[in-house]
Structure 1
């Protein structure tokens, strides 16, 4: 059976091509992929568990890359055995076209199965194969095209938390240092003196008979009404 499709990916061709060769990305995108190991620049070994109708099987096989043409595309083929369930093999020709800052991924895929799976009927096999191919390329597009800006808020929050910790440490150090030098009473008087200085500067009027810090009393002699 032959399957064709197109996927627009919001990333440049070079990034898309590199992702097509990245086993970590492929593992996220291949439906049912449990393990994938890169053996060389063109070969990988994978374990994939799939369900086709009532039959569920684990396939262990090889994936081979050929016709490498970076960053324009390549051909990917695979063949695996599912034990009593049968076997599966297939491949896809992938072509990448630049579209501004994005990439248009075009693919033509083929798939063949044998054994018990082949007895399920051509219509079920075709629909399952097309769904698996569509799921792979859709997932691939979402993973590779994920905007880098999504990480920025977390980084900013991390920096803000780091700064807050430093400021809190400095504040705690100064508070302890002043407390040791002045004692609790001295620190209180210092605070009142600072408060009085500030409130007088902003024009605060003290009630008659109320406590006035020394600086306020001095200011009141030169500026009546304070």
Structure 2
């Protein structure tokens, strides 16, 4: 199955959007149904242990606009990094919790690519995805594409059920990211906003 599209965010710079989409905590917060998204080093991921650790840990650190660009850059996705995530989605009459591992296969401003796989009790998937950012007259456009192979019970539902769910998740995700980036603009005076943008550019 192939998915692609673009999403425009007004009154932001490419650097600001790149920083936001490089933050695991921003992704976790904005992605519907995401319980956790955490860097892992081991090949075999113990999701039950991770779930317990994430439940017991303190609250997540702040994300933009509360976080500083320096803090976000320090914890940003790394090329070659492996990240475990637990994602619960409603697909038709099915609501699986996917235990997934995603690898950042390419991360070079303004492009990022990932690959991953996940499984639930009766379904699984393999995924490759990428995005590229570009300036527009009013802000930034995020061009994205994904290719997924789905197996098991969810695959039996077919594209007529899966495609609307995928589109809903993507649009909710980008809407949330856009809202948070607009909060950055609302919170900063013009001079402070330019200073913030300069700080972000220096981190890339």
For normalisation by structure 2, the TM-score amounts to 0.66
Q: Which residue of 2 aligns with 1:2?
A: 2
Q: How far, CA to CA, are the matches of 1:74 and 1:66 in structure 2?
A: 8
Q: Distance in 2 between matches of 1:53 and 1:139?
A: 23
Answer 1 or 2: higher relative contact order, Cα 8 Å, separation at least 6: 2
**Equivalent residue, structure 1, for 2:61:** none
Q: 1:101 to 1:38 in 2, by over 3 A?
A: farther
Q: Corresponding residue for 2:180?
A: 143
Does the 8 A contact of 1:7 with 1:141 survive in 2?
Answer: no
Q: TM-score, normalised by structure 1?
A: 0.60
Counterpart Cα distance in 2 of 1:76 and 1:99:
25
Q: Secondary structure of the equivalent of 1:55? A: coil
Corresponding residue SS for 1:106: strand
Higher relative helix content: 1
Q: CA RMSD in A?
A: 2.1
Find the counterpart in structure 1 of residue 13 from structure 2: 12
Gaps of 5+ in 2: 41-76, 190-204
| Contact 1:49/1:58 (<8 A) preserved | yes
How many residue pairs get aligned? The number is 150
Tell me, in whole angstroms, the C-alpha distance in 2 between the residues paired with 1:144 and 1:106: 17
**Could you list the runs of 4 or more consecutive aligned residues of structure 1 that deviate by over 6 angstroms after TM superposition?**
none
Deviation at 1:36, TM superposition (A): 1.0
Report the counterpart of residue 120 of structure 1 in structure 2: 157
Give the whole-Å Cα distance in 2 for the aligned partners of 1:60 and 1:76.
Answer: 16
Match of 2:114 in 1: 76
Gap regions ≥5 residues in structure 1 = 153-226
Cα displacement (A) at 1:101: 6.9
Query: After the TM superposition, which residues 84-103 of structure 1 pair with which residues of structure 2 at under 5 Å, given as runs?
Result: 85-99=122-136, 102-103=139-140
Offset, 1:47: 0.6
| 1:1-226 equivalent positions in 2, closer than 5 A | 1-9=1-9, 10-39=11-40, 41=78, 42-70=81-109, 72-83=110-121, 85-99=122-136, 102-150=139-187
